[in-house]
Structures are given as structure tokens and as C-alpha cells.
Structure 1
């Protein structure tokens, strides 16, 4: 028995030892398999996480650069560095954005988001600068610590500069390492817990070991491999990848639920990025990028079906004046009111397939393609002109702005999106030239007109410095004795190649281009200098000089200080300077005009209202905008003899102006009969070719010295 017992025990020990060896062997194999699986999962997850972060960083950098490039067009065009800085700082505050740089066409830094911009105006010298400056489109550059997206800032075909958005790879890599480390720690925890479970099963039979292996395979490896497969689908852009129902409360269940939350978060982030990239933040309308993509698709469909499309390019008239005088909050409020009116008009006359987008600061585009596009475009343009011409109430003020609209058709006017948009812009510009608050259809003749206008604008720059611009003076006489009492300063342009260019042509170019803000102060200063040298007349009076003031100069708010400076430099008495403003310059915002004119009156300068009667404002505005004199427009004077209505209106203007204590000046007198009619009705002053043609400053002096009373 003892031997049997010893033998059974030995056999039992041997069996147990063998079983233990088998279990240990199985355990060793299982542990090896688990370690390999864990390494594979860690490697796959690390690769996926890296690719996700890399793709997200590139996509986000590109989206920020494109959005910023679109938003910077208007501020950069108007050199609004404050708005540029605000946009740059908003973008630079986003996560993982290392820097945001805005530069001009020469590669000089315009803004970096800082308050003082220490590198302003200096060329950028970093290794990536050359590539960014020379890029004609979107460009991605990468160094060991930054991923840079650069885009040129374009206004049409004109390059205004560019923007560089650098994504800090160090931050991205830190986030990536943190995510990978977290996932690895979770996997390690899960592996450790299962290892402890397997060690507890060490004394069980091999069958139990097999069961454990199967359990581990089903409960751990399979879910993680499913997550890895889902991660690949997410990487490919499929954010709707389904995950198995998971009610487990262990780490794997937590991991699966965390992965599901991460999937949903990435999907939301993708939607948000797309929304920001394709939607205007202020108005909620489709933005330039989304509209351009939609336009390309519509053009492809129209080519295939042979349908016509109509594009309306809408630009709010004088919108910059609202921002400059009332502030950007008021500008945003006015813009939103315009958007609502445009949206209502499109809903009323644009059809179900109409597409409305905000194309720039105060520019909108509407694409029509339902039914007869040309007829629909005309109907919509009529509605827009009517509705947008109505006054707006902004911060308790009634503002009149209106909109200029350009209409172009596909395929009649253009065969591609770029040309169609360019033609719409040209037609809109012609609507502004026609007096604003109207619409014009594109025609090929407009291209030549735009080219001529651009050429004239280029020639006008520097014309004063080259001596091509000079002052002439239109003498002004007192009607009761035909005594010379003053002169109106007129600007003349003698071009060396084009000859004499009429003021009606180049003054309009200067107004539209903004050059009048440069030329106007020079004219005022020169007129004051020359008038200060005029001798006194024979009766001891000093002649006044009247100078036309552009609406842009009035709206800028700097006119009183400019006038004071010119009077100080020239020594001309303030009472001998008369400023002439048009009716339309003061109608838009009478409160602002009244404040500026009050400042001018306090200096002793007199203010006249030029071209009176053509602005449809009536004499009621004279009660709110204080002026010293009105000029009856020459169109009324020319028809006084033939048109009883013009004669009656002229008579009424003189009588009502005198009742208000306002001096009346008649211009454009070309016949003695006109002069006699005006004298009979008590007109105070007169000017015109019948009395004297425009003369030089030297001739004015001669006329004063000999007491000339006109021709």
C-alpha cells in the first residue's frame, strides 16, 4: 500500500506536475499571444491617433487660413489695421495656432496680432516666408516645429497681400502623445487585470485555460480590433461608423463608450469647421467659398441642360459712411436689416432655387436659375432697388443708402464662374456710376470703360505733383452793381498725352477711387494761399474764394481741422473762405453734417449749398443744416425763359432763402435775359460765361485792380 500510495502519489505529483507544466505552457503561450495583441493594438491605435491629429491639424489650419483670407479682404483693402488686428488675434487665440501673420504684396509684415506689431513694414525673413509670399494659391509648408498654411488675399484678380497661419506641431504632438499614452495605459491596465485573472486560474485544468483564452479573445481583443477598424473608417471621413451595443461596466466597455463619444465629438467638430468654412458668421448666409463651389456645380448642370443662369452682384451704397460715422455696431445692425430685405426680396421674386450669399463686407451675390433667368433677374432687381432704397432706422437715426446692382447672364456674358463674377462686379460698378440705387446689365462695352477708368485713375495719381493739375477761378459778381466780390476755385487737368480732361470726367474718378481725399486738401490749401495774395477791391473789400468740398471729405470728420490749418498757413481771413457742399452730401446724415458745419461757422468760414434743387431735398433741410448761401443749379437758370415752372421754382427759392436770411447765388448765366430775370427777383450773386469765363489767379488780380464789373 505504501508503495502503491507512493506510486499513486508520485503519479499524481507527476500528473499534477505535468498538468501544471501544461497549464504553465498554455499560460506562457497565452501570455505571449496577449502581449503580441496588446503591442499590435497599441501600434495600430498610435498610428490612427497620429494620422487623426495630423489630418485634423492640416484641415483646421487650412480652414482658419481660408476664413481669415476671406475676412481680411475688406479691412486690408481699406487699410483698416485695427480690424486686421482684431481678426488676427481672434484666429491666433485658437488651440494649437502658433502664429498668424498678415503681409502685403511685397512680403512686408502688416500685422502679427500683437498690440505694437514690432515687425510692421519690415520684410519677413523666416525660412518659410519666401514660399508664402510667392504662393499664388493655398500653400502648405512644414518645418520641424510648425505646419504653415498660407493663402494670398485677393480682391477679384487684385492681390492685396497674404496670410500665414502656423500650427504649433509641438502642441499637437504633445496632445497626440497624451492621447496615445492614455490609450496605452488603459490597455496596460486591462492587460494587467486579465493577467491577474489568468494567474488565479493557474491551478485549473487546461480546459479552463482554453476557456479563459477564448474569453479573453472575445472580451478584449475582438472589441479593441473593432475599435481599430472603426478608427480607420473615421480616418477616411466616415463619422457614422456603427459600434456594437455595449452594456459592459469594465474598462473595455468604458473604452468603447469613450471611443463613441470621441467619434461624436469629431463629427461635431467636422460639422462646425464646415459650418465656419461655408457660412458667414454675422448674417448666417452662404459665404464666398461655399457660393463659389455652388456656382461651379450650377454652371456644370446648366451646360449639360442648356439652361441660362443669372447672377446679381449687389453692393450697398455708402455703407462705409455708416461704419465711419456711427461705428461698426451700427454698421452690423444696418447690414442685418439689409440682409433681411434682400432675403425677403429673393423669397418674393427669386424662385425656390435662388442662392443668396454674402460675398464681402457689403457685397452680396444672388444666383438665379429657375425658369427664364433673364426675366426673373429683372423682376428681382426691380424689387431690390425699391426695397433697399427705403430708409433704415439704425440707433434711432433714419439712414438712406440704397444699393447698386450689376446683372450678368450665363452663357450670354460669360462661360465660367470667374468671368461671370467679374462681369457682375463691372455691371455693379456701372450702376454706381449711373447714380447708385439702380441696376445695370453687363455689356462688353463696359470692359473697355473700366479699362479706361482704371488707366485714368492711375494717371490721376501724382498728377498734382507733376504739375498737371492747376486752379482756375470763376468770378462771382454782385447782381445790383455787377461788382466782382469773389471767385469759385475750379480744378483743371492738362494731361501731356490726353490733353485737357473735363472735370466732369476726372472728378468722378477721384470721388469713386478715393483720390479726392488726397487732392481735395491740396486744392483747398492752394486756393487759400492764392486768395490771401489778392489785393482788396476799389471799395476796400477783400474778395472771397469758394472751394468745393467732396462728400467724402465731409464724412471723414476732419474737415474743420483741415480748414483751420489752411487758414493758419495762408493767413487768409476766415470770412473770405466759402465752402461749397452739394445737397446729397448732407442729406444722408443731417445730424453729422449739422455738427461739422457748426464747427466751421464758429471759425468764421461760410458754407454754401451747391447745385441746390437737384437733390430733391427741398428747403426743409435748410432749417436743420445751417448754411450761409445756396447756389441755384444752372439747369434751372438755363430754362427760365422757356419753362414757366423753372422760373416759378427759381423765384420761390430766392424768396424762401431770403426769408431764412440766406444768400442766393445763381450759376450758369449765359445770356443777359437770364441775368435780368434774376436781378428782378432779387438774386444776390451771379456767375457764368456771360459775366466771365474761368480765369487764372493772375487775371483775377488784374480784374480787382481795375475794378472789373464783368463782360
Structure 2
């Protein structure tokens, strides 16, 4: 009932109903006004009719009286002249018999009654004393006068010019008024009957209008409101995500039928586009697997269903090892082909071992996530996840053959369990990511389960990142310099700028720890330019050694700084700020920093060398391409990695490699620097092999800028520094 009332009093139907009610109100008002006017008219008609009837009746009565009194006066001449009372009585009695006559008098010239039409004539000889008598006695001719209740008509009785007397007849006006009232009542009754008949017709007309209005409302409800309301309901369902709401076509041929058909086609089109959008929104465009959004919704739904049941669920967070190297060396097109093949292999393993409830999704890049759920009460989810992880490591360890070449990859997998490791989707995914990160730290191409120790390590990493962001401004980061010696004469020729972090709570944070954090978080792009400026500023104060040139300063530059393309401008800004001679600045880059786009790196390094800045290749021999970089990248020196120098006294292979690097570099005119020299024997062996420069703890520990200045001021000695 409430819905019906709501339908009646809302929307288009309500407007039509309001219009009909307004018409009925106007019609009622007009009817009331017309009835009121009709009543006024009836009263006016009755008043005018009464006045007219009274006027006509009085005029007729006057005419009748005059017509009667005049002839009667002539007939009374002889009886009055001869004083024949009987003759007068006979004439007067005939007059008295007529209707409405109240009295008849024959009087003498003095106004005394001679006869009144009765037999006894009780007023004979008496003077007429009524108010109308004087005018009647004195009237020279026919005279009509009125009082409240009588019309008096008199006439003189003349014989020749002699006045014998006169005659008066009094007509009863009350009787006339009685007749008049009777006529007025009949007129009023007739007018009332006409008014009632007219009111009946007005009521019938109002009922007809209401019937027509009801028919119009029904027609609007049937042919207009109901279809429009159906379209509105369909629109609300479409808004809530239910698109297939109009399955049948309308047979109507009018405009509304066209609207219904257009709306149906629109809903079908929206449904089709929604399916396409959902496919795009929930599917990875490259591999066709579920994406992050689809996986997260599925994970939330499954956790809601499993909550409180005691059943387990495993999440495997997988990341392809060294996939960036594929994109950098082979290009993104080959990288996409690799991802397709990897996705196919992972899908096959998941379908074979994951069970019917397993789900695979690609999170983007080289990240894949797998969901394993117990398909039966006896299924061991942890065992299934372990078997699945081992199978994935084995499958992805096999080479991929693409474009007539083999690509070797691996996969690192982190596994987190519900409800043992986390109770929410966000924590489950976070813990899986942490476990995957630990798998990479464990050597890659393996699977690791999450535990609390991993979480502590990640929390420490996050804390270090947070603290490192403001460490420079708080003065916690400082510069130290490790001297570089010329092997031939033990002279100090330069120093490598190193960054140290003294945390007020953690103490000295190892460079390998916070530099790794800075590299992974991108903070190195903020810290690197500041290190460059500080190193150039300190080096500008260094004195010359033994009258020669002042020492150089070498600054390590990260791969991120090189890829940003802003390195030449940053170096130029540091030189301008400090006033340091460009020839005294060396930029150190690792081989891995240039892998992927050697052409871009070569252009940047060429710009640096054009300004006088020298470029060294750090950790030489540990990269993917080895000595080939000396041919493709413009460098001024190479630093032999400490891993080769450490065993040159005991490992023939390391000695051979070191000797080969020195020989090849010298043949190309490139300076050779050995790092990690820990004892005098290594130093002497490097001198024999022709190494140019060396640095290490046995030569000098890293020191402050002021301490390095004091070292430079010492006279040269043949003995190595302690």
C-alpha cells in the first residue's frame, strides 16, 4: 500500500494528478461561484418580480378601480339627485360583491355618508373621518390614492356643473398582496427547482470530470508511468552493477517504445563494455593472468570464508631473479617474451601441483603471486606449498630458449601461511614479500617461509631508511678519505672519498648496510650530489705533495645517478661551488652501473672527460662483460677488485687474472689501481707486475680531511705508511 501511495504521489503521475485536482478545484470554485451568483440572481429575480407584480397589480387595480368608479358615479347621478337610497343601495351592493372591495361610500358635498351599500346604513349622515376622505371629497375628478392597506378611488357625482356629492370605493391591498406572495412563492419554487436541476447537472459534470481524470491517470500509469518507472528501476540496477535488466524488446510503436528499445540496447552495450573493462581491470594485459586487483579481491573473499574454520591458506610471493638484466641487455621486447614463457611455466606447475583452489596472478614487472587453499579437509596446505615452491625453482632454473639464444634465470619465492603468519590480506602479502626478499638474500633461486626474524630485519631496514633521510641535515653523515699511493715511489697522489654514518643510537652503521638501503630506496640520488660537493670542497684545500700537483679525489657514483642523466650537471655544479680543478676529480663507476645502456653511459662519461674530469671503472673484473668495457666505454683507469688482490699470493688464477688486467690496461694507456692491499708482500708483487696505484688498510686507513692534509704535508719516505 505504501508503494502504491508513493507511486501515486510522486513523479509524472503526481503532476498529472495535481493538474486534475487543480482543474477540479477550479471547477468547484467556479461551480460555487456560479451557484452563489445563481442564488443572488434568484433573489434579485424574486425581488424584481415582486416589485413588477406589485406595480402591475397596483396599476391594474387602479385602472380597474377607475374603470369601475367612473361609470358608477354616472349611474348614481339620478339616485343621488332624487335622494333614492334604494337605488343607490342596489348599485352599491353590486359593487360590494366584487373581489378585493373593502368599502363603498356615497357622500354629499360636505363629506357626509349617504349610503355604504348596506341595508341599515349605520354611518348615514356621519362625516367620513379617515385619512383619505378629505382628498376624496375635494377631488374634482377621478382620484386614486393609497394607504398601507387600501387603494381609495373616488369620483365626484355631477349634474351639469353642480356637484351633488361623490362616490368612493376602497380596494383591499392586503388581499392583493396575498395573491402576490402566493405568486412569488410559486416563482421561487420554480427557480429553486431550476437551481437544483442546474446543481445536479454541475455535480454530474464534476463526476464526469473525475471519471475522465481517473481514466487519464490510469492511462498515464499504464502507458507512461509504469514503463518509465521500469526504466528507472533498470537504471538503478545498472548503477549497482546489474546490466542485463531488459531482456525483451518492446512492441510499442510510439516514442516511449523507441526509448525502451534504445535503453535496452544501451544496457546491453554497457554490459558488454563492463565485461571488457572488468577483463582489463582484473587481467594482466601481457600474460592474461589475474592482476593485483583481482588477486586482492579473491584473497579477501577467501580469508572471509576461512575465518574461524581453522583451515589453512598459503601465499607464495615469487620474483624472477635477474630479470632486469634481460631488459637491459636484450631489450624489453625480449623481456616480454621471457615473461610470457615464465608465466606459462608457472601456470603449468600451479595447475599440476596447486590443486583446484589454486590461483595465479601477476603483480606487475617480474612478480607473480600464487594462492594455495585446501581443496579437501585432509589436504596439507604447507606440504603443497613446499612442493609447489620446489617445483617452481626447478622449472624456472631450466634455460629459456628465445630467438635462438638461451636465457638463464631463476626464481625467489617467499611463502606466508594463514592464519599462522598473518590474519589479514595486507599482512599476509607483506610477510610473503619479506620472505621472498630473504630468499634473494639467501642466494636467490630458492623458496623461504616467513618467520618473525625476517620481519625484524625488514623493520630494521625501514627504520634505517627513515633515519637516513634526515641524517645529512642532522650532521650524522661525514666524509673520510682513504689515501691512494703511487706504487713506484710510495707517494700520496690522491684519496677516495668515503661516507660514514654515526647514528646516535645505533652507533657506526656499516657503509655496506646504509649504502645498500640508499641504493634500493633511491635516497642515493639525494645523498650522492651532496657527497660530490663535500668531496670537491675538501679536496680544494689539499696542499701539493713534495712540490708536485695537489692530490686528486675520487668519488663513487651509483648506477641510479648515472641512469638519471644528471651526472654531468651535478659534477659541474660541485666544481663551480668548490673551485676545484676538474683534473683533480675522478668519478668511480662500477661495471654493473653501465650494463643495459652502454651507449647512454658512454655519452655521459664522454661529457665528463671533455671537462677534464677523469673516470675510473671500479670493481673491475666482476661484471658480466669483463674486459670488453675497456673497448666500449671511455675510462681513464680501472680498479682491480679486492677479491682478486686478496689471494694473489696464494691463488695462481687470481695472480694470472690480475697480471692480465694490468697488462691489458697498460697497453691501452689506462691507469691501474689495486684496492684492498692488506700487506707488504701484496704491495711488492703489484709493483713487480707494473700496477700504477694502490690503496688498502696496510697502506693507510680512511681519515678525516684534516688528517689527510697532515699526511700530504709529510716529506716523501721510502717506507710505506703504517
Report if TM-score (shorter chain) is over 0.5.
yes
How far has the Cα of 1:435 moved from its partner? 7.3
Deviations 1:637-665 (A, max 9, x none): 12122222212221122122222222111
Question: Contact 1:632–1:666 (CA<8 Å) still a contact in 2?
Answer: yes
Deviations 1:390-444 (A, max 9, x none): 9999xxxx99998765343445533442222111222233456567777654332
Q: In the TM superposition, what whole-angstrom CA distance separates every residue of 1:284-337 from its partner, at most 9, and x where no partner exists? A: 4423221112224455677869565342243786869979x99xxx86x57744
Q: Which residue of 2 aligns with 1:39?
A: 221
- Aligned equivalent of 2:275, options 265, 271, 274: 271
Could you tell me whether the CA contact under 8 Å between 2:313 and 2:418 is conserved in 1? yes
Q: CA separation in 2, counterparts of 1:255 and 1:566?
A: 71
What is residue 508 of structure 2 aligned with on the other side? Answer: 500
| Equivalences for residues 107-506 of structure 1 within 5 A | 237=242, 239=244, 242-243=247-248, 257-258=261-262, 260-280=264-284, 284-299=288-303, 306=311, 309-314=314-319, 333=333, 336-351=336-351, 353=356, 354-360=358-364, 363-368=367-372, 372-384=384-396, 405-411=413-419, 413-431=421-439, 440-506=448-514
* Higher Rg: 2
Once the two structures are superposed, the pairs formed by residues 66-85 of structure 1 within 5 Å of their partners are: none
Deviation at 1:600, TM superposition (A): 1.4
Instruction: Give distance in 2, aligned partners of 1:466 and 1:539.
Output: 38
Q: CA 1:295–1:49 in structure 2 vs 1: closer, same or farther (change >3 Å)?
A: same
Check 1:700–1:251 CA distance in 2 against 1; reply closer, same or farther (3 A cut): closer
Q: What's the CA shift for 1:551?
A: 1.1
CA contact (8 A) 1:483 1:707 kept: no
Structure 1 residue 628: Cα displacement: 1.3
Please tell me whether residue 702 in structure 1 is matched to residue 707 in structure 2.
no
Mapped contact 1:453–1:509 kept (Cα < 8 A) = yes
Q: 1:689: which partner in 2?
A: 697
SS of alignment partner, residue 619 of structure 1: helix
* Distance across 2 between alignment mates of 1:263 and 1:561: 57
The question of whether the paired residues in 2 share the 8 Å contact of 1:368 and 1:376 is answered with no
Deviation, 1:499, is 1.5
Q: 1:652 to 1:321 in 2, by over 3 A?
A: closer
Q: Which residue of 2 aligns with 1:583?
A: 591
Residue in 2 aligned with 1:574? 582
Q: Which residue of 1 aligns with 2:685?
A: 677
Structure 1 residues 320 and 569: CA distance shift in structure 2, 3 A: farther
Cα pair 1:414 1:420 within 8 Å, conserved: yes
State the alpha-carbon separation in 2 of the partners of residues 431 and 609 from structure 1. 30
> Per-residue displacement from partner, 1:66-113 (whole Å, max 9, x unpaired)?
xxxxxxxxxxxxxxxxxxxxxxxxxxxxxxxxxxxxxxxxxxxxxxxx
| Aligned-residue offset at 1:351 | 1.8
Report the counterpart of residue 675 of structure 2 in structure 1. 667
Q: Deviations over 1:533-579 (max 9, x none)?
A: 11111141221111111111111111011111111221211111111
SS of corresponding position for 1:541: coil
| Secondary structure at the counterpart of residue 275 of structure 1 | helix
Asked if the contact 2:435–2:450 (Cα under 8 Å) also holds between the matched residues in 1, the reply is yes
d(CA) in 1 for partners of 2:596, 2:448:
23
Equivalent residue runs for 1:628-639 within 5 Å: 628-639=636-647
Whether the 8 Å CA contact 2:327–2:335 is kept in 1: the answer is: no
Provide the alpha-carbon RMSD of the alignment.
3.9
Distance, in Å, in 1 between the alignment partners of 2:264 and 2:240 is 23
Query: Contact 2:283/2:289 (CA < 8 Å) preserved in 1?
Result: yes
Does structure 2 conserve the Cα–Cα contact (< 8 Å) formed by 1:484 and 1:707?
no
Q: Write the distance in 1 (CA, Å) between the matches of 2:497 and 2:402.
A: 35
* Whole-angstrom distance in 2 between the partners of 1:507 and 1:363: 25
The answer to whether the 8 Å contact 2:321/2:444 transfers is no
Task: Return the offset for 1:381.
Answer: 3.7
Residue by residue, what CA displacement relative to the aligned partner does 1:200-257 show, whole Å, maximum 9, x if unpaired?
xxxxxxxxxxxxxxxxxxxxxxxxxxxxxxxxxxxxx37276537x888777876775
The equivalent position to 2:543 in structure 1, one of 535, 541, 544, is 535
Query: Aligned partners of 2:546 and 2:267: how far apart in 1?
Result: 93
In the alignment, the residues of structure 1 paired with residue 532 and residue 408 of structure 2 have an alpha-carbon distance, to the nearest angstrom, of 29
Structure 1: unaligned runs, 5 residues or longer: 1-24, 60-236
1:566–1:623 distance in 2 versus 1, CA, 3 Å:
same
Deviations 1:6-36 (A, max 9, x none): xxxxxxxxxxxxxxxxxxx999979954651
Normalization by structure 1: what TM-score? 0.62
Cα 1:411–1:338 shift into 2, 3 Å: farther
Please give the alpha-carbon distance, in whole angstroms, between the structure 1 residues aligned to 2:711 and 2:252: 106
Partner of 2:649, secondary structure, is: coil
If asked which structure has higher relative contact order (CA below 8 Å, sep 6+), I would say 1
SS in 1 for 2:554: strand
Q: Quick one: distance in 2 between partners of 1:620 and 1:553?
A: 23
Equivalent residue runs for 1:82-97 within 5 Å: none
TM-score (norm 2): 0.61
Unaligned runs of 5+ in 2: 1-206, 376-382
C-alpha displacement of 1:268: 2.1
Tell me, what secondary structure is at the counterpart of 1:670?
coil
Rounded Cα–Cα distance in structure 1 between residues aligned with 2:634 and 2:407: 20
Q: 1:544 to 1:305 in 2, by over 3 A?
A: same
1:669, CA displacement in angstroms? 1.1
Rounded Cα–Cα distance in structure 1 between residues aligned with 2:501 and 2:402: 38
Q: Give the stretch that moved more between structures: 355-364 or 249-258.
A: 249-258
Distance 2:567 2:680 in 1: 38
8 Å CA contact 2:389, 2:413 repeated in 1: no
